[in-house]
Amino acid sequence: MLNINEIKLNLDESEEILSTKISQILKVKNSDIKNISIKRKSLDARDIPCYVYSVDFEIKNEDKYLKIKNITKTIKNKLILEKIETPVRPIVVGYGPSGIFATLGLLRQGIKPIVFERGSRIDIRSKEVDKFFKQNELNENSNIQFGEGGAGTFSDAKLTTRSKDLDMQYIVDVLIEFGAKESIRYEHLPHIGTDKIRSIIQRITNYLIKEGVEFHFNSKVDEILIENEKVKGVRVGSQKYHSDIVVVALGHSAFDLFKSLHQSKVYLEAKEFAVGVRVEHPKLLIDKNQNKDYYNLLDSASYSLIHKINPAYSVYSFCMCPGGHIVSSGSNKQAICLNGMSYSLRNNKYSNSGILVPVRKQDLKNDDLFAGFEYILNLEKKAYNLSNSYKAPAQNIKDFLNNELNPLKFESSYSNGTFPYNLNNFFSENITNCLKEAFINFDKKIKGFIDEGIMLAPETRSSCPIRIKRNIDYQSVNIENLYPIGEGAGYSGGIMSSALDGLKASIKIKDKIKNKE
């Protein structure tokens, strides 16, 4: 197999002509080029924008073509999971991306885990989320954070795959195997959309059930059972389930189980997190700014912004959702927290993004281990208490800078409605000043960012304020056979890195079981 780089197509040209282009460069017949697969696709936005491809293909007598510019041999490596035979059934607590890939990884190595997930399966969970959006009735155990698929289920499902290692390729392959489009393999900024990711996850779960994984949905684990610094199982209500291996894949919102882990003397440490607002703009404004004259030929535009307040402290955009919706993504009653989601077509008329300011130890009132969680919950409750409802406080960005309050420029896409509020009175002085300085800087990069934008508060759950410290073998530093993984354990951020963490943990667990038997 060969690879050819730097094949260019105009924005309106079909990928079907890639084979013709390659045959012209190689000076062979089109039919001589076989089994084309795109390896990378990127946009070259200089001068007249075009897509640039790297393509693998097969041809007879391939060595003959290696002298041609941009052609090299393709080396295809795949992660092969070693299979063992064992009666051991590890428990996995939490079924978000890290829990899913820990479970799937274990299964494909011959180990059948037992999964406990506090939320519902996706079909029921979707109705529960819908009920919250329409009737403000939140189920604290099954919502945008909790349930089959975890926090990324009601998301944009942007798949940030910076790591090119074989394990990451394995995850991409699994997503495609269960229904994701092939292009997530090579797009620069792949995304799936909430509508598509939900059915992919459902198919994965059904497959795991068929292969013998035991699932307990709507089952909140209240305690991890530990004896003599070794894990012994979990407790769900009054029921105990025993296993000598427990994976905790909790996500960043399981405040209750973190407290229980602390009481059980599992070593936890506080870590930096971030809070801020969600800004929203007309999608057309962002598209025109980012894609210039070609905005109607290109996909909905995203942006990634960062402004250094000082060398050690930056304000940044987070989880940008082109053509998306702002959603109430909390898991606590009478508290508001915001995030963004979008459908695969990304065709809502607004685009939104989190704008976040880091919160460090010195910004918290005390150095208690749980001070970060309290800080987050206080902000979320403050937002709720302002109107005694799930309506989010909202303001025009321009008015925020001028310390004024005028009617909003447009009605936000936010799921539970907004009310006008001067957000100068919401955050600490430091956060308010950081946001203002960053907005002025962002307006230089995206024209109209200030004048045409609105902002809603608060965005609080971008990462976990706590880390469950582990060793390089993925076990807790002080509790044997406890495997803390994913975003809640403090070792990943986002869908793909959390999935990767779960898969890598499954390999460590298999190695441990194998070496013991």
Ligand X SMILES: Cc1cc2nc3c(=O)[nH]c(=O)nc-3n(C[C@H](O)[C@H](O)[C@H](O)COP(=O)(O)OP(=O)(O)OC[C@H]3O[C@@H](n4cnc5c(N)ncnc54)[C@H](O)[C@@H]3O)c2cc1C
Residue 117 near ligand X by CB under 6 A: yes
- Kindly state the DSSP code that residue 370 receives in the 8-state scheme: T
**Strand 114-116 versus strand 214-216 pairing type:** parallel
106 is a site residue for ligand X (CB under 6 A): no
Site for ligand X, residues 3 to 42, rule: CB under 6 A: none
In angstroms, give the least distance from the CB of 257 to ligand X.
4
Q: How far is the CB of 326 from ligand X (least distance, A)?
A: 9
For 112-142, give the DSSP string: --EEE-SS--HHHHHHHHHHHHHH----TTS
CB of 402 to ligand X, least distance (A): 31
Indicate which single residue of 81, 431, 457, 495 sits in contact with ligand X (rule: CB under 6 A): 495
Question: CB 158 → ligand X: shortest distance, Å?
Answer: 4
DSSP bridge pairs for 314: 308
Cis peptide before 49 (omega within 30 of 0): no
Tell me which of 332, 395, 424, 498 binds ligand X, using CB under 6 A. Answer: 498
What is the CB neighbour count within 10 angstroms for residue 286? 27
Best CA proximity match to 220, nearest among 151, 142, 143:
142
Q: By CB under 6 A, is residue 217 in contact with ligand X?
A: no
Q: Return the axis-axis angle of helices 97-107 and 194-210, rounded to nearest 10°.
A: 30
494 near ligand X (CB under 6 A): yes
Q: Are strands 114-116 and 91-93 parallel, antiparallel or unpaired?
A: parallel
Does residue 154 touch ligand X according to CB under 6 A?
A: yes
User: Interface with ligand X by CB under 6 A: which range of 69-77, 408-416, 427-435, 490-498?
Assistant: 490-498
Nearest approach in angstroms of CB 176 to ligand X is 17
**Contact status: 119 vs ligand X (CB under 6 A):** yes
What secondary structure does DSSP assign to 152-166, as a single string?
Answer: GTTS--B------SH
Q: Under the criterion CB under 6 A, does residue 94 sit at the interface with ligand X?
A: yes
Listed ranges 39-47, 368-376, 387-395, 489-497: which one lies at the site for ligand X (CB under 6 A)? 489-497
Q: Are 326 and 412 in contact (CB under 8 A)?
A: yes
Check binding of 155 to ligand X (CB under 6 A): yes
User: What interhelical angle do 166-177 and 97-107 show, nearest 10?
Assistant: 90
Segment contacting ligand X (CB under 6 A): 41-49, 61-69, 114-122, 406-414? 114-122
Tell whether residue 96 is a contact of ligand X (CB under 6 A). Answer: yes
- The correct pick among 208, 226, 249, 359 for binding ligand X (CB under 6 A) is 249
Query: Are the C-beta atoms of 106 and 86 separated by less than 8 Å?
Result: no
Under the binding rule (CB under 6 A), the answer on residue 93 touching ligand X is: yes
Q: Does 157 bind ligand X (CB under 6 A)?
A: yes
* 251 or 276: CB nearest ligand X: 251
Query: Mutual orientation of helices 371-387 and 255-263 as an angle, nearest 10°?
Result: 150
Whole-number Å distance between alpha carbons of 466 and 256: 13
Both tokens assigned to 8: 């260019």
Please give the C-alpha separations between residue 460 and each of 109, 331, 338, 432, in angstroms, as whole numbers: 37, 12, 7, 15
Residue of 120, 329, 352, 416 that binds ligand X (CB under 6 A): 329
| Token pair for 205 | 């779960």
User: Using the rule CB under 6 A, is 156 a contact of ligand X?
Assistant: yes
Stretch that binds ligand X, among 33-41, 142-150, 278-286, 289-297 (CB under 6 A): 142-150
Stretch near ligand X under the rule CB under 6 A, chosen from 246-254, 269-277, 295-303, 364-372: 246-254
Under the binding rule (CB under 6 A), the answer on residue 204 touching ligand X is no
Quick one: which of 327, 376, 408, 482 contacts ligand X (CB under 6 A)? 327
- Scanning 53-61, 280-288, 353-361, 486-494 for contacts with ligand X by CB under 6 A, the matching segment is 486-494
User: Contact, 311 vs 161, CB < 8 A?
Assistant: no
Binding test (CB under 6 A) with ligand X, winner from 114, 319, 335, 434:
319
- Tell me, what amino acid is at 303? Y
State whether the Cα torsion 100-103-108-114 is positive or negative.
negative
Residue indicated by tokens 């915001």: 338
168 touches 78 (CB < 8 A): no
Largest CA distance in the chain: 73
The site that binds ligand X (CB under 6 A) totals a number of residues, namely 45
Q: Min. distance of Cβ 186 from ligand X in angstroms?
A: 18
* Residue (of 218, 158, 215) closest to 192 by Cα position: 158
Q: Binding residue for ligand X (CB under 6 A) from 233, 439, 487, 512?
A: 487
Footprint of ligand X on this chain (CB under 6 A)? 93-99, 116-119, 144-147, 150-152, 154-158, 160, 220-221, 249-251, 254, 257, 319, 327, 329, 339, 341, 486-488, 492-496, 498
